[in-house]
Amino acid sequence: MHNNPPLERLKKRSEFLAVAKTGDRWVTPAFVIQVCRRALEGSARYGITASRKIGGAVERNRAKRRLRALIRQILPLHACPGTDYVLIAREEILRRTFACMAQELEEGLLRLQRRS
């Protein structure tokens, strides 16, 4: 297991675009993971996207909250230092069970790590 790097957040649109353009991705029914190695050292960063495709303000906020809960549980165990993670919500995120999504996130992170 890694030593846990400190977690920061992505905030600017340009940072999201950089991850989407240069990064690797993994798709599950509930969300999409995008990963981009920024540097060898330093803190890991994460960002969350929930577009209007999900629904209104209530549904989008709920999707973001569920993604944040997942990240708090899973990401510190598998994050690499100097790496940016972006999670994009899909419509299934409002119906899928939490345990199921946690397993999918873990599997996706491991596969992306192995790929790079």
Partner RNA sequence: GAAGAUGGUCGGAGAGGUGCUGCGCCUCGCGCAGAGGAAAGUCCGGGCUCUCCAAAGACACGGUGCCGGAUAACGUCCGGCGGGGGUGACCUUAGGGAAAGUGCAACAGAAAGCAAACCGCCUGGAGACAGGUAAGGGUGAAAGGGUGCGGUAAGAGCGCACCGCGCCUUUGGUAACAAAGGUGGCACGGCAAACCCCACCGGGAGCAAGACCAAAUAGGGAUGGCACAUGACCUGUCUUUGGGUCGUCAUCCGGGUCGGUCGCAUGAGGCGUCAGGUAACUGCCGCCCCAGAUGAAUACCUCUCCCCUGGCUCUCCAGGGACAGAACCCGGCUUACAGACCAUCUUCUUUA
Partner RNA sequence: GCGGGUGUAGCUCAGUGGUAGAGCAGUAGCUUCCCAAGCUUCAGACGAGGGUUCGAUUCCCUUCACCCGCU
Give the footprint of RNA on this chain (CB under 7 A). 9-13, 16, 47-49, 56-58, 61-62, 64-66, 68-69, 72, 95, 97-99
CB of 54 to RNA, least distance (A): 12
When the beta carbons of 76 and 113 are compared against RNA, the nearer one is 76
The residues, ordered by sequence, that sit 6+ positions from 27 with a Cβ below 8 Å of its Cβ are 33
When the beta carbons of 103 and 116 are compared against RNA, the nearer one is 103
CB of 115 to RNA, least distance (A): 25
Residue the block writes with tokens 């995120």 = 93
Q: Sheet with 83-89: list strands edge to edge.
A: 7-9, 44-49, 83-89, 31-37, 24-27
CB of 25 to RNA, least distance (A): 17
What is the token pair recorded at 34?
């995008």
CB of 27 to RNA, least distance (A): 20
- Local structure of 102: helix, strand or coil: helix
When the beta carbons of 22 and 61 are compared against RNA, the nearer one is 61
55: left (phi > 0), else alpha (psi -120 to 50), else beta?
Answer: left
When the beta carbons of 77 and 111 are compared against RNA, the nearer one is 77
